[in-house]
Amino acid sequence: MARPAYDEFCRQREEFFAREQGRGLGANLVLSPSEQRLNQYVMHLKQQELAKGVENPYELVSARHFFEMLDRINESPLFRLIQKMPKGGVLHAHDTAIGSTELIVRATRHAHLWQSGSIPQTAADPMPVYTFSRAKPTAEGEWRLVADIRSTMGDAAYEAAIRKMFTLYTTDPLNEHRDINDVWRKFMALFICFEPMVTYRPVWEEYYYGCLEELLADNVTYLEFRGLLPPVYDLDDRKYTPEEIVQMYVDQSEKFLRANPKFAGVKFIYAPLKFCDDSTFDGYLTLVQTLKARFPTFIAGFDLVGQEDLGRPHTDFNERLLRLPAGINFFFHAGETNWTGRRDENLIDAILLGTKRIGHGFAAIKHPVVLEEIKKRNICIELNPISNQVLKLVQDFRNHPGGFYFSDNYPVVVSSDDPSFWCASPLSHDFFVAFMGLASARADLRLLKQLALNSIEYSSMEDEEKTIATQKWTAAWNEYVEEMLKTIPAEF
């Protein structure tokens, strides 16, 4: 085959490039003149940041661990611009890890909180145990009122210790969290430690409402969150039922929506642990049906959570899951692994079970038929890039499979999973990392806009709710663009 003339080669290259760029996420969006001007500034900031990494790869924020670059990210003009951006909804987050550690600090100020054991000084030290009680707990341990510990340590010192304890953040993450099992043990220990603190009813309601406030402050206006529904209690030794706990969520959500009409809504995915015996699993299925019947518009569906590599495979549950009524939707975690030919095969089960979305989908890139079915069935992949790095699936964000999903317009959203544990905002940090690390250097404002729109499209809202949510988001987006244009340099 004869080589083309150089002019023809250039024409072919331009055509080739246009075809490839035209397949990317957001490529079909047409920006208004105002958006185009803002886009020029966004891309100026992005290229400035990327240029630092070309000259000195150690300075590239997307190539290093999030903990190492957190301060740099927080100081970035592009990050601040993304913070102010209306980002739509969070579709993948877990109940007691959405809110910042400040909400946990606030919980320690409540009366009647007891602590057994000391706040760890090293990674090898055991975590303390907490509970709320009018009288000194009778359980084994040397119990002290947190109010007394605060008096001894000083409020500032105690609260600083709490902030440090309830996060995986470290200045040396690559060595302190040596492998996936190690970091997952520490991760689960955080949930176990503060669960008796946040499941005290006054804190439970205060914490959840605070989560909604923090989401809105981060310019997120919709939430679908997963939860285990752990037992909630009060000082009278009352243990609340799962139905009563969901009612608390509903009541606090409605209270928040009345006070904040810009917020589009909240829905809940019942997501218990996959580390269970068959009898416990059967109880899960009974409960989700009860909850769906009682709260049909609040309960979005069902999922199973926990470290995928060590959890029971979907094949243990498929037969019974198929018996659930069609009105109960699935939103399965699947492919949250680096393995091929092991637990990653949960992706196949999730698709055949009819999952509406896939949590993480990190391993889907290794399964060509899975990828075909994701597009064919329009199954949304919930990307959580910072979570995937902290929990040891990827080190350099440029190697995250989300980059491939972006490049070929797969149905995706970006979410935050458990942002509290990595000192991240409810969504802005994940948006920044996705834009700077997963996405092409050429990906622009259209990608960010499409991600926000996708979070509405792939939500569990009914069509009428989606229409209203889109209208609210569009108004906020247009206002945001005009406000940003007032602040950018005149040359843009």
Active site residue 243: no
d(CA 201, CA 244) in angstroms, rounded, equals 11
Inter-residue contact 315 to 349 (CB < 8 Å): yes
What is residue 412's three-state secondary structure? strand
Q: What six digits make up the tokens of 188? A: 């689960």
Active site residue 400: no
Inter-residue contact 274 to 267 (CB < 8 Å): no
Inter-residue contact 130 to 192 (CB < 8 Å): no
d(CA 163, CA 334) in angstroms, rounded, equals 31
For residue 209, the one-letter residue type is Y
d(CA 426, CA 174) in angstroms, rounded, equals 24
d(CA 333, CA 321) in angstroms, rounded, equals 14
Inter-residue contact 142 to 111 (CB < 8 Å): no
Residues linked to residue 261 through DSSP beta bridges, in sequence order: none
d(CA 440, CA 436) in angstroms, rounded, equals 8
Active-site pick, 336, 382, 400, 429: 336
Nearest CA to 466 among 454, 458, 456, 455?
456
d(CA 449, CA 431) in angstroms, rounded, equals 11
Active-site pick, 177, 314, 333, 360: 360
DSSP per-residue string spanning 96-131: GGSS-HHHHHHHTTSTTEEEESPPPSSTTSPPPEEE
d(CA 49, CA 81) in angstroms, rounded, equals 14
d(CA 210, CA 109) in angstroms, rounded, equals 15
- Known catalytic residues are 336, 360
